[in-house]
Amino acid sequence: MSDFQIRLSGSGGQGLQLAAEILAGAMLSVGKRVAQSISYEPTSRGGLSRSDLVIGDEAVDYPLVTDLDCLLILDQIAVDGSLDIIRPSTVVLMDSDRVTAAPKVECKLVSMALVRAAQGIGNVRTANIIALSALAELSGFCQAATLRQMVEERMPPRFVALNLDALAKGIELARSAGSPE
Amino acid sequence: MSTDQNLQNLQGNRACALAAIHAGCRLFAGYPITPSSEIAESMSAELPKVGGVFVQMEDEIASMGAVIGASAGGVKAMTATSGPGFSLKQEALGYAALTEIPSVIINVMRGGPSTGMPTRPAQGDIMQARWGTHGDHPTVVLVPWSVEEVFAETIRAFNLAELLRTPVIILFDEVIGHLVETVDLARFQNPQITDRKWADGKIEGFKPYRDPGDGVPMMARPGDGRRVHTTGLSHGESGFPTQNAGEVEKFMSRLLGKIAKHRDEVERIDARCCDDADVVVVAYGITARAAHRAVSMLRDQGIKAGLFRPITLWPFPESAFKAVAEHARLVLVPEMNAGQLILEVERLVSDKTTVAGLNLFYGEPITPQQIVEKAEALLSQ
């Protein structure tokens, strides 16, 4: 695997930077090299927020994304900014409630009620981890066990159980969604 | 946990803080500002662990003052900021240059002018870093392009500040500051560290600004009995103010000439695929990462392209640049500004080759594809 490109996008406060940090740690733990960049607005909540990862077997030469392999969209605000780098092969996972107008470009689109699922397990803030887990399950860039291990290492102890539930929920959603179109 | 124990994911800003401590920095004074805030945050957590001092000052001006004061007292000191704060530091920066007090200033560039775009990258402070403070003054500016190089160049900044007794500025952009990369810092375990050249020998008759030969006077260790007068007024060897033409001429010539006397230690470049290059791309910071990819893409199309990357931006590595650029058909200078380093590039080689810029300043990094398209368009003209 060389230069696998992932973007986690949505609005500020949805935990996208944390999800990316956990994924970056997970990829490092299995011997990959990563470059993780961020883009956000000067507000503490709301506004476009995204974190991008370029993952390779060797040191990453160009650290920013140019052709996405995977894209998460957790909010409508994040749709337009990624249109140029979605390819027909890009797996796009979007929130079925928060994204009202899907990207109008050819891609492998999967829609799930990610935020609702987070509310369902008791904390809306776990949508980031549910989404990360679902995306990993859909496209296979990271083993579930590796993500579990990283959640246990990185999350504050009182949130570990909740986030392990979120990982399990993401896998469940991905399996019931089937293969990306 | 990594399969290779030396590897870690590290952010550019945090790398800067860790490297500063590694280089011996024991005082950080600053006023946090996006996109540099993680430097202050890391320093506040890490400095106390090594007996250092973190001070959040009331503003950027005071921060620079505190850095100068600490350094004059013998402590390696640093501040970090972004454009608006960098503007505020300019007067004190000139004071440090004139009084020859070593200091390290980090400017993580964001969109400007004024408060501009706090969370977006820019490279608009290239000329400010060279000429921001008034009057002729020596300037050393370093521009790393990766997290690992931020670590290396931060250590080098402290070493150069001590070697030259001058402020050293590190410029990187928001992308590099916030970029997390997998790095191996094993090679930095025992870095070469330059410490203060303290005055020794006779105390009587000590001249605090006498040239020992390499242009850099020995500094008196505070309280060692040597008499020192420190002023931002022009001064001679004694340190006391003077407007005597001969004394000022001698002092200024030494001040401005001392960097050139240490050119080998100061200048650092990275030239890739330049030997046979028809197109030389000159770039720094995140734009150089894009240019590096663009050079590969152009080569894949049969266009002989190369990358010339100043790691030391000021003084600009003139000889090394001329050697690779004079024989090129085209020199392309992509920058996230309206055209700043290109002025220096034009000064050096526009009589020998075509120089063109790619200037984008809307808060998004320049992409490899944009550089490729610009080069292709220029070559087809």
pLDDT at B5 over 80: no
- Nearest CB among B4, B118, B365 relative to A64 is that of B365
What's the pLDDT at B54?
A: 98
Q: How many residues comprise chain B?
A: 381
> Sorting pLDDT into bands at 50, 70 and 90, what band is A43?
confident
Contacts of A5 (CB under 8 A, 6+ apart): A52, A53, A54, A55, A65, A66, A67, A68, A69, A70
Has the ipTM of the complex gone over 0.85? Answer: yes
Q: What is the CATH number of the domain that holds A141?
A: 3.40.920.10
Name chain A contacts of B111, Cβ cutoff 8 Å. Answer: none
Helix axes A157-177, A144-154, angle to 10 degrees: 160
What is each CA distance from B339 to A9, B15, B90, B312, in whole angstroms? 32, 29, 22, 18
DSSP string, B61-89: HHHHHHHHHHHHTT--EEEEE-HHHHHHT
Q: Does A178 score more than 90 pLDDT?
A: no
Q: How confident is the model at residue B6 (pLDDT cuts 50, 70, 90)?
A: confident
Please tell me which of the candidates A31, A35, A153 has its beta carbon nearest to residue B181.
Answer: A35
Q: Token digits for B55?
A: 């001070």
- Asked if the B7-188 domain carries CATH number 3.40.50.970, the reply is yes
DSSP state of B235: B
Question: B180–A37: do the CB atoms touch at under 8 Å?
Answer: yes
Residues B18, B42: contact at Cβ < 8 Å?
Answer: yes
| CB contact residues (below 8 A), chain B span 165-204, against chain A | 175, 178-182
Contacts of B293 in chain A (CB under 8 A): 61-62
CA–CA gap between residue A22 and residue B63 (Å, rounded): 35
Give the structural domain span for A118. 4-177
Q: How many domains does chain A divide into?
A: 1
Which of the residues B4, B7, B9, B362 would you substitute to probe the A interface, choosing the one with the greatest number of A C-beta atoms within 10 Å? B9
- Among B5, B146, B180, pick the best mutation site for testing chain A contact (most A Cβ within 10 A): B180
Fold of B269-379: Rossmann fold (3.40.50)
> CA B153, A60, B39, A28: dihedral to nearest 10 degrees?
-120
Q: Tell me, yes or no, if B3 comes closer than 8 A to chain A by beta carbon.
A: yes
Question: Among partner residues A28, A37, A63, which is closest to B2 by beta-carbon distance?
Answer: A28
Q: Which of residues 17-76 of A touch B (CB under 8 A)?
A: 21, 24-25, 28-42, 59-64, 66
In angstroms, the CA B171 to CA A153 distance is 34
Q: Does B4 contact A at CB distance below 8 Å?
A: yes
Q: Which residue bears the tokens 């991008």?
A: A52
Three-point CA angle B52, B55, B60, nearest 5°: 130
Among candidates A34, A40, A66 on the partner chain, residue whose Cβ is nearest the Cβ of B367: A66
pLDDT single digits (tens) B113-172? 999 999 999 999 999 999 999 999 999 999 999 999 999 999 999 999 999 999 999 999
Domain boundaries, chain B: 7-188, 269-379
Instruction: Retrieve residue A167's tokens.
Output: 């990982």
